[in-house]
Amino acid sequence: MSERKRIIVGVAGGIAAYKACTVVRRLSEAGHSVRVVPTESALRFVGAATFEALSHHPVRTDVFSDVDEVLHVRIGQEADLVVVAPATADLLARAASGRADDLLTATLLTAHCPVLFAPAMHTEMWQHPATVENVATLRRRGAIVLEPAHGRLTGTDTGAGRLPEPEEIATFAQLLLERSDALPHDLSGTRVLVTAGGTREPIDPVRFIGNRSSGKQGYAVARVAAQRGADVTLIAGNTVGLADPAGVHVVHIGSAGQLKDAVAKHAPEAHVLVMAAAVADFRPTHVATSKIKKSHEPGHTADAPVIELTRTDDVLASAVRARADGQLPNMRAIVGFAAETGDANGDVLFHARSKLRRKGCDLLVVNAVGEGRAFEVDVNDGWLLAADGTETGLRHGSKTLMASRIVDAIGTFLRHRDE
């Protein structure tokens, strides 16, 4: 992002406060001016010197410091974004009730920009009716309160309430700087099934047929949908190095056959299916039970082995047929993905339109692929085609930004379907 933004990172007093250091570093390295405003309790976990070194700004906690600069008003007024990570149950309660008893809560009252809370607390505290009401109040007022991750908490406890990974928090912060309206909490009660990543079709115990899909775009769709209130299940293929998104149930698979089985298991409960996975079109007909040796090794012929291929099942088309046959009574929208290149027969959109007609899905996300495009990169662009003939360009930007546009289209489709 070319324009330098002013970001306030608020830090509340919880054990996850140390992760705020990574959030500050990520946003600073992206070229933004970042100022840390911790609570007094937060400084018992991470010292002021650490935050000052990372942000290159002085750290203050109370409204009586630098009174001549009126910091408790000015910081919030000048901010382009406020991120609170971690946001403890106490901090959420004070923010919801409009308290202004320290510099952070006063800043929250004067901020005109998007405010992003990343909660971190024990499961019982997150699920307590008081916290539930406080979160609902903040969301109703326009704040973004992320769903926490599920995982290891303080001590031996495990459950919902873990702080989302710092990289994920920074990703959402960047998204809000690109689109301040990107995360409305508008999909509550909607069950979304997303597939992501490439499949691997085994040749022998060592080798496989695969593709270049990283899974980043599918993960971004799952991540955005979950933070907009949807109940999201993500079926993940080959997605090496990608952390499970916060608030998402993740099912890991390997082959196209395993993906087909996982979709068949979870689709009957879903309202929306987003087929972002790059599913192999072919698999080896016969899988060797031992490693295929090189031809020059003793006892082996000089000829290279011939691998016979069999077409895999079309999971997207199968889902469309199953819905038409009444087997998916809850399914209201099916979204396909198409990675296309032009050829002698037509350009990318020509092939995409043909695929939309052939597959019969409601929406089709189209990417033009090639070296440095779509696969294995953090940015994307393309088109969104609808069964009614509507075609919308998806402008170049981060995959999270593109995911927000895709989820917008899904929400619009669902609303029009219900009218």
Q: What is the pLDDT of residue 282?
A: 94
Q: Is the dihedral of CA 250, 160, 247, 162 positive or negative?
A: negative
Show the tokens assigned to 24: 């500050």
* 278, 334 contact by CB (below 8 A): no
Q: Distance between CA atoms of 277 and 142, rounded to whole angstroms?
A: 33
CA distance 355 to 351: 6
Q: Which residues contact 289 (CB under 8 A, 6 or more apart)?
A: 204, 205
Confidence of residue 70 (pLDDT cuts 50, 70, 90): low
Is the domain defined by 191-418 classed in CATH 3.30.70.260? no
Residue 10's φ and ψ, nearest 5 degrees, are: -85, 140
Q: What SS3 state is found at 306?
A: coil
Cβ atoms 84, 111 nearer than 8 A: no
* 19 DSSP 8-state letter: G
Whole-model pTM? 0.92
Q: What pLDDT, in 10s, does the model give residues 309-338? A: 999 999 999 999 999 999 999 999 999 998
| Residue matched to tokens 């698979």 | 253
Convert the pLDDT of each residue in 146-184 to its tens digit: 999 999 888 788 899 999 999 999 999 999 999 999 999
pLDDT for position 380? 85
**Element holding 17 (H helix, E strand):** none
Backbone angles phi, psi at 28, to 5 degrees: -65, -45
- Of 344, 338, 219, the closest CA to residue 281 belongs to 338
Phi first, then psi: give them for residue 315, nearest 5 degrees. -65, -40
Burial 139-163 (b: 16+ CB within 10 A, else e): beeebbbbbbbbeebeeeeeebbbb
Count of CB atoms within 10 A of residue 29's CB? 10
Residue-wise pLDDT for 355-374, tens only, equals: 999 999 999 999 876 555 55
Residues in the chain: 419
Q: Is the pLDDT of residue 384 over 80?
A: yes
Check the annotation: does 355 bind a ligand: yes
Q: Tell me which CATH code domain 6-178 carries.
A: 3.40.50.1950
Q: What is the domain partition of the chain in residue ranges?
A: 6-178, 191-418
- Cβ neighbours of residue 140 closer than 8 Å, sequence gap 6 or more: none
CA neighbours closer than 13 Å in the CB half-sphere of residue 257: 8
Identify the residue whose tokens are 């929406």: 363
Annotated active-site residue in 134, 211, 367, 380: 211
Please state, rounded to an integer, the average pLDDT across all residues of the chain: 92
Q: What backbone phi and psi angles, to 5 degrees, belong to 360?
A: 80, 20
- pLDDT tens digits, residue range 3-44? 799 999 999 999 999 999 999 999 999 999 999 999 999 999
What tens digit of pLDDT does each residue of 176-185 get? 999 999 999 9
359 labeled binding residue: yes
Q: How far apart are CA 10 and CA 118, in angstroms?
A: 10
169/85 Cα distance (integer angstroms):
8
Calculate what percentage of the chain has a pLDDT beyond 70: 95
Q: What percent of the chain has pLDDT over 90?
A: 79
Give yes or no for a cis peptide into 86 (omega within 30° of 0): yes
Q: Assign 297 a pLDDT band (cuts: 50, 70, 90).
A: low
Mean pLDDT of 222-229: 98
Residue 291 annotated as lining a ligand binding site? yes
Rounded mean pLDDT, 384-400: 92
> What are the structure tokens assigned to 163, written together?
């702080």
Known catalytic membership, residue 211: yes
Task: Examine domains 6-178 and 191-418 and report if their fold is the same.
Answer: yes
